Chains A and B, each alone.
Chain A
Amino acid sequence: MAMMTIAEALREGIREEMRRDSTVFCLGEDIGIPGGFGGAFTVTLGLSDEFGHERILDTPISEIGIAGAAIGAAMTGMRPIADVQYGDFLFCMMDQLANQAAKMTYMSGGTVKVPMVMRAPVGSTRRGSQHAQSLEAFFTHIPGLKVVAPSTAYDAKGLLKAAVRDDNPVLIFEHKLLYGSKGGRSEQGALSPVGEVPDGDYVVPIGKGIVRRAGKDVTIVGKLLTVYKALEAAELLAAEGIDCEVIDPRTLVPLDKELILESVRKTGRLVVVEEDNRTHGWAAEIAAMVAEEAFFHLDAPVRRVSAPDIPPPFAPVLEADYVPSAARVAAAVRSCFG
């Protein structure tokens, strides 16, 4: 058992999978250049020392090419872990993810598999509109992809290992304020949770959520950074006598619906928190799912706490209003008690 940041846990997971299986390799921009960064947030730092530059493969700045190379390699016997420096760059490779990776198994009549992993950092961190978006919801709308979003070091390693072993394309969204990247790559204002990570092999199964805080009065569902905002709000509200249950789905596709439904059936109230834009979003889907399957258990309207429908702004004072805060979560919870 060791205490690790998420960046360290991901690195450990990659290292163990690459030792275990010679078909696993990493590719991306600036991931293994000697004297470089080990990826934008240090996750692959030092791995080329052990595995060499063929298996920690530095690419040109070619996002379509990176995705295509990963998918093509996955179709022919390899298990690539591809890396984009910022989640926003996934839009550059959208065709490869949405039309190629996601549809390949289906349109081949189930004869071709695409066991690839694509890692993408998200989250608004004072970089302006094009290095900041939480764009998970786009990918949860694409059948054929699996989507995970670890918020702790334990889950980061366990979900990464599960993703590498999965025979489908899996996107891993990682939040920049949760990595705990060190040195020049550390983030201002980061939470950087450090957590216990068991030595050696374990997986966190894809599709299983977790209750982060048990409570009886209201269910708060968050992901990545907003799990922590929800937990912070829960502390504020405990002082007011409101007992919050906080759920972290950990996997967005396939969603652990039953965990959420079971909680709502108990509490009768639901607040969903996301850093994504509000309209047609992930929280809307959770709200619709609960409305369809647990409507008669609800004692109050479902509330969403989201980013407003604007591009991520730059100035810290503007960004502070963009990212859901514990205060906004707490206000939404209070509104469920009219």
Chain B
Amino acid sequence: MTQARPEARQVDSTHVESLYREMLLIRRFEERSNALFLQGKIPSTLHLYIGQEATAVGVCAALRPDDIVFGTHRPHGHALAKGVSPDTMMAELYGKATGCCKAKGGSMHVGDVAVGMMPAIAIVGANAPLAVGSALSAKMRRSGQVTVAFFGEGGSNEGAVHEAMNMAAIWRLPVIFVCENNLYGASTPVSQVVAVENVADRAAAYGMPGAIVDGNDVLVVEEVAREAVERARRGDGPTLIEAKTYRLCGHSRSDACGYRTREEEADWRDKDPLVRLGKVLAPGVVKRIEAEVEARIDDCVAFAEASPLPDPADALTDVYWEGSA
């Protein structure tokens, strides 16, 4: 088990700015999506990533463009951090033809294989075996790619995750399991469903290293992810990283969070990853990034608004492979 120490960092300011920009892009994308959802512009439900931005951004900062990410039912952060365009993502949320999944995926399945973001998997834990297959494929093809599976502390209890971790360990596959422990699986507290203190403690049982990180500190997350990525690329096998974090919003629509206290929420707001990283940056820089991100969000909403709806007949296509991409 490794516990990364923040004092070990040495990062240049351009990199810090870029991490801040990516986290802020996710935060503003989520806030705007929620507003548009409440206005009735976005159908369905939304699982927002607000509060957990440092985990996706930190992990993806350690990846190559051709590395592969399998996200969850709360995938907007994973997708933006891996490089999916905010335009096609917002259009997907709107159910527009220009969406990253041609309006056939929706919020819970956003992805773009061209940037290594697989369609997000909304069955809890089911992405872990897929990530194992992707890593097995990378190993067989000798591509040097690393695959990441994100899941929550709730997902860590799925049998699929157990099978996946065991297979990854016995075959020493280049895969990283990132457990985002945000303390609640929907409304259920982690203490009620996990008997060990840390999900990462389970890594030992599979014969792989486990690491616990402050999931709200993007620099620490990146550092630990880098170590795991290097290990995977060397052929030394998988790592389980547990990022301790918190969802600063409800589980999904109309969640008043009656299962947790306002005090606990306030404590975690103090640990907001954006506030923490923002302190490292000059106020002028924060303002500039703030403006850039706002403009980017305006653009993606404009793109989604202007995009056409899919032709109803398109519902019948792409059930089987049509060789389109």
Residues of A within 8 A of B (CB): 23, 25, 54-55, 59-60, 62, 64-65, 67-78, 80, 95-96, 99-100, 104-115, 143-144, 146, 167-168
Residues of B within 8 A of A75 (CB): 118, 130, 133-134, 137
Q: What number of A-B contacts does a CB cutoff of 8 Å give?
A: 152
Which residues of B lie under 8 Å from residue A64 when comparing CB positions? 129, 159-160, 163-164
> How many angstroms between the C-alpha atoms of A95 and B137 in the bound complex?
21
A96-B126, A99-B123, A168-B320 known; A107+B134 contact, CB < 8 A: no
Q: How far, in Å, is A164 (CB) from chain B's closest CB?
A: 14
Determine whether B105 belongs to the interface, using a CB cutoff of 8 Å to chain A.
Answer: yes
Contact check, B323 vs A106: say whether CB atoms are below 8 A apart.
Answer: no
B319 interfacial contact with A, CB 8 Å: yes
The 29 listed contacts between A and B (C-beta, < 8 Å) are: A23-B140, A54-B140, A60-B163, A60-B167, A62-B163, A65-B129, A65-B160, A68-B130, A69-B129, A72-B131, A73-B137, A74-B133, A75-B133, A95-B123, A96-B126, A96-B130, A99-B123, A106-B318, A107-B104, A108-B118, A110-B318, A110-B321, A110-B325, A111-B112, A111-B113, A111-B324, A114-B321, A115-B321, A168-B320
- State the B residues within 8 Å of A (CB): 68, 70, 99-105, 109, 111-114, 118-119, 121, 123, 126, 128-138, 140-141, 145, 147, 159-160, 163-164, 166-167, 170, 317-325
Query: Once the chains are docked, how many angstroms separate the CA of A105 from the CA of B119?
Result: 9
* Known A77-B137, A112-B118: A106·B131 in contact at CB below 8 Å: no
Chain B residues near A96: list those with CB within 8 A.
126, 129-130, 160
Q: Which residues of A contact B68 (CB under 8 A)?
A: 76
Closest to A76 in B: B137
Taken together as a complex, chains A and B put the C-alpha atoms of A280 and B223 apart, in Å, by 55
Contact A72 B102 (CB under 8 A): no
Cross-chain contact B113 with A67 (CB below 8 angstroms): no
B129 touches A105 (CB 8 A): no
A74 to B163, CA, bound (A): 18
Which residue of chain A has its CB nearest to the CB of B132?
Answer: A69
**Which residues of B sit under 8 angstroms from A167, Cβ to Cβ?**
321, 323
- Tell me how far the C-beta of B99 lies from the nearest C-beta in chain A, rounded to whole angstroms: 7
